[in-house]
Amino acid sequence: MSDNYHQQIALWGIILIFAVHAIPALAQGSEFRVFADKSGHVHIAKDGQEQVVADETHQVGIQSDRTAEDGRTVGWLVDFADPDNSSPDAEILVIFRAGRIIRRFGTGQVFWSWSFYKQGEQVAYHVGPTHGEESSHCELHDVKTGHLLAQWDGDLDDPKRPVWTRGLDH
């Protein structure tokens, strides 16, 4: 066999190896894009598709949208007007997967930050009063059941804080 034949086989082998590694990345597609329109309806867009999700009653906006590492779960905080303050308060965390809202988490206080944990199967969040927090109250919940899995009160700057709080901030 000629050297040209062996070069062609080697080239096709390289192309095949590249294709095998590139296809999973292409299949994942892009991240979600989440935004609220002027009417307050939440839009979720991914890979050229867009879905509208009805707003929560008395919602004034959304913030802090995130896509889980699983690439199929997205969440955001829902803002409500604060009669004592000019800026809105985040009072509900919404989790969306497979074309529908699968869980809502509420708090008697304000969500300061949140993150997905364990590939989107769990969520961690930091909640507290609008002013005067002495230590950070953080909770870890199961997305499927909503159950509280862990909670922690402390300083989010503490290097010894629980690993599930690492995505949270003040």
**Pair 13, 42 in one domain:** no
Give yes or no: residues 22 and 96 share one domain: no
d(Cα 134, Cα 131) in Å, to the nearest integer? 9
Question: Are 159 and 112 in a shared domain?
Answer: yes
**Residue that is written with structure tokens 């609008």 in the block:** 130
Q: Are residues 6 and 39 in the same domain?
A: no
108 shares its domain with 132? yes
> What is the domain extent for residue 12?
1-29
Angle subtended at Cα 57 by Cα 53 and Cα 111, rounded to the nearest 5 degrees: 85
Residue 170 lies in a domain: no
Residue 6 and residue 75 in one domain? no
Residue 147 pLDDT grade (very low, low, confident, very high; cuts 50, 70, 90): very high
pLDDT at 148: 97
Residue 82 lies in a domain: yes
Q: For residues 156 and 91, state if they share a domain.
A: yes
Does one domain contain both 25 and 96? no
Confidence of residue 4 (pLDDT cuts 50, 70, 90): low
Q: What is the mean pLDDT of residues 52-57?
A: 88
Residue 1 included in any domain:
yes
Quote the DSSP letter at residue 170: -
Count up the domains in the chain and report the number: 2
The residue ranking higher by pLDDT, 112 or 55, is: 112
For the cut 80, the answer to whether the pLDDT of residue 22 exceeds it is: no
Considering the domain architecture, whether residues 69 and 123 belong to the same structural domain is answered as: yes
Read off the pTM. 0.79
d(CA 76, CA 115): 10
What is the per-residue pLDDT for 69?
93
48 — pLDDT class (breaks 50, 70, 90): confident
